[in-house]
Structure 1
Amino acid sequence: MHRPQWWSAWMDDKQQLTTYRFGSWYTTGVLSLSMKRHQRHGTDLTVHDFWAADAEAVNEMMAFLAGHHTRPAAVHFRRSALPPYPALLHNLHRYRLTAEAWHPWMLRILDIPEAVRLRGWPSDLATAVPMEIESENGGNSESYLLEVQDGTGQITETRAQGDVQLTRGQLAVWYAGGYRTAAAARLAGVTTKSDEALTQLIRATSDLEPWLPEHL
């Protein structure tokens, strides 16, 4: 968990959080939750952080929540609490699960090369895709070459014309794994000169969705 030193104390105070750490010799899980009185009786319990190193830690933390001493009628997970992994579906066999979806994020990529360098990429994908990306001020597009190899990625400026054209908004959606298929990207307005290039571009991000847990 790479957070500033002041983050935990500030968030604990701001959200009235109680934080638990799991593990014997080293931390394998971090669970932060808030509680408030229910309108009628009992307690409402909301999970803000659910960080687990492995499946064993997930099971331990789920068991802790299920047996919480306040006996809440329901446990609420904030959308940002869970990474893109269906842990709830595999650990709540005797409980009823309901989900509400919304999009609290506004993602704007300011430094394209650095954003690409820091992102996770498929280790089994080796590709090079020429792209044209709308300039920061919305003017003429700029040409780039995206290269993915051995789980790392880099993007560099080039003079060659791109096979796939993206606006700044489409770039953010692609980067966040929002386009699951090439057809979805086309329906969203992404234009391409090569179906193969678009397919490779979508494959690069569709299976590794970024987890954005810092939601105030």
Structure 2
Amino acid sequence: MNAPITFHQADDDLCRQYDALATRSFGHPLSDIAHLRPHADIRVATRSGTVVAGGFGLLIPQHFGGAPVPSACLGAGCVAPEERGARLAARLLTERLRALQDQGAVISSLWTASTGYARHLGWEAPTSAMAWSIATDDLKRSHTTRKTDHLDIAHGLTPDAEELQQDLARQWNGPVQRPHWWATWTTARHALTTYRFHRPGQPPTGVLAFAMTPREQHGMHLAVHDFWAADQDTADAMLTFLGRHDRAATITFQRNALPPSPLLLHTLHRYRPNVRAWHPWMLRILNLPEAIRLRGWPADLDLSVPIEVEGEIHSTSDRYLLRIEAGSAELSPTTREAAVRFTRGQLAVWYAGGYRNPTTARLSGIKCPSPQALANLIHATTDQEPWLPDHF
């Protein structure tokens, strides 16, 4: 008879075992485990003292509606191949989330290729994730104006550049509020080179970070990881600068490195970019009343809508009255008939502003006895678009 599974917060020995298991499970070493050990909550499952599953969690706020919402950002979850098929991953996720909820997390995000499994457990993808690749010559021809002439370009990340990145992050739904160690971790992880763009004597208006790796025969690969621009002129200057790296045959923008705007596609001299769809980031609401209270809301919105939300057990549901007024919101139990009915996943997409209009919401399966109430709810979260450029 197999020994029972037990769950633990990883000490040094269990962390070493988890690191070895992750290498065996993913087929390559994960430097994240060692780099994030001082900052992450690492939970493992053991059988007879041997680690058979593990994963880390980061308690980091994510921006929604311009406000930081405490989030359990989960990464590097793995189960030993010989232990798969017995719902161990779901049990471990419960343990990982419980620890971070105890520390204040009210939502959770993850990147996973197992989207169906995550969806079954309550996560949903607010939007798609894309990586773009364009010939460097095409980029160079498309940005021939001397946009960089009135901007200074300096190497390195400075506190004012990090402040710019955080200011811009607040304008989207999803980016993490990067802690002080984030840049050190990601620079070591990808060997990033960072540049900042600014007008003479002024604070930065752009931050660009990319990795360069040699090609087998000649030249290099260039992959953009961070692309933060405060205005179109700065974005044009950053694209012009990238086009000058002609030792790279192509410029690749890693998944979600580009914000969801047409700033690249609408300026091409010759339209022949390549796009690759990646597995998306997924969001789950852990504490609905607190997630609603802590999120930012439009200051001019005055809204009261009864809603119904699927419970943790799929056959149950809960009714609430959502009240939004003067930039604040609260959720309270109600017996009123719901005007809009959400599953847990649909609620997460709405929370992130993923439904841009009532048509997309209805196509996702949202039940709405009151079409006007649905339109009002969608208007409440679409002042900012969903975008998560941060990977964990």
TM bin (shorter chain): 0.7 to 0.9
Match of 2:278 in 1: 102
Match of 2:263 in 1: 87
Q: Does the residue aligned with 1:100 lie in a helix, a strand or coil?
A: strand
Q: Distance in 2 between matches of 1:16 and 1:101?
A: 24
Decide whether the 8 Å contact of 2:354 with 2:386 is kept in 1: no
Decide whether the 8 Å contact of 1:33 with 1:48 is kept in 2: yes
Listed one character per residue, the Cα deviations across residues 128-187 of structure 1 (whole Å, up to 9, x for unaligned) are 32211123454632222334456x352311313321111111111222333333233233
Out of 251, 261, 280, the residue aligned to residue 75 of structure 1 is 251
Given residue 22 of structure 1, which amino acid in structure 2 is its aligned partner? F
- Equivalent residue runs for 1:133-152 within 5 Å: 133-138=309-314, 140-149=316-325, 152=327
* Greater shift in the superposed pair: 190-199 or 96-105: 96-105
The CA RMSD measured in Å over matched residues stands at 2.5
Q: Distance in 2 between matches of 1:114 and 1:98?
A: 41
CA distance 1:121–1:103, shift in 2 (3 Å): farther
Q: What are the ranges of 5 or more consecutive residues in structure 2 without an aligned counterpart?
A: 1-165, 167-176
Shift of 1:75: 0.8
Given residue 365 of structure 2, which amino acid in structure 1 is its aligned partner? G
Match of 1:58 in 2: 235
Match of 1:9 in 2: 184
Decide whether the 8 Å contact of 1:120 with 1:208 is kept in 2: no
Name whichever structure is richer in helix by fraction. 2
1:158 counterpart = 2:325: no
Q: Distance in 2 between matches of 1:81 and 1:110?
A: 27
Query: How many residues in Structure 1 have an aligned counterpart in Structure 2?
Result: 214
Q: Distance in 1 between matches of 2:243 and 2:384?
A: 29
Shift of 1:97: 2.2
Given residue 66 of structure 1, which amino acid in structure 2 is its aligned partner? G
Decide whether the 8 Å contact of 2:208 with 2:228 is kept in 1: yes
Given residue 49 of structure 1, which amino acid in structure 2 is its aligned partner? D
Q: Does the residue aligned with 1:184 lie in a helix, a strand or coil?
A: helix
Q: Does the residue aligned with 1:59 lie in a helix, a strand or coil?
A: helix
Given residue 379 of structure 2, which amino acid in structure 1 is its aligned partner? R
Which structure is higher in RCO with an 8 Å CA cutoff and minimum separation 6?
A: 2
CA distance 1:123–1:7, shift in 2 (3 Å): same
Q: Does the residue aligned with 2:379 lie in a helix, a strand or coil?
A: helix
TM-score (norm 1): 0.85
Shift of 1:95: 6.0
TM-score (norm 2): 0.49
CA distance 1:84–1:60, shift in 2 (3 Å): same
1:47 counterpart = 2:224: yes
Q: Distance in 2 between matches of 1:110 and 1:206?
A: 21
Q: Does the residue aligned with 1:32 lie in a helix, a strand or coil?
A: strand
Decide whether the 8 Å contact of 1:143 with 1:158 is kept in 2: yes
Listed one character per residue, the Cα deviations across residues 112-135 of structure 1 (whole Å, up to 9, x for unaligned) are 344335545556654332211123
Listed one character per residue, the Cα deviations across residues 84-113 of structure 1 (whole Å, up to 9, x for unaligned) are 222112343356322222332121112334
Q: Distance in 2 between matches of 1:199 and 1:148?
A: 15
Match of 2:205 in 1: 28
1:208 counterpart = 2:384: yes
Q: Distance in 1 between matches of 2:216 and 2:309?
A: 51
Decide whether the 8 Å contact of 1:122 with 1:208 is kept in 2: no
Listed one character per residue, the Cα deviations across residues 52-88 of structure 1 (whole Å, up to 9, x for unaligned) are 11222212211111112x5311111122212222211
CA distance 1:93–1:116, shift in 2 (3 Å): farther
Decide whether the 8 Å contact of 1:62 with 1:91 is kept in 2: no
1:19 counterpart = 2:194: yes
1:130 counterpart = 2:316: no
1:169 counterpart = 2:169: no
Q: Distance in 1 between matches of 2:373 and 2:290?
A: 22
Given residue 274 of structure 2, which amino acid in structure 1 is its aligned partner? T
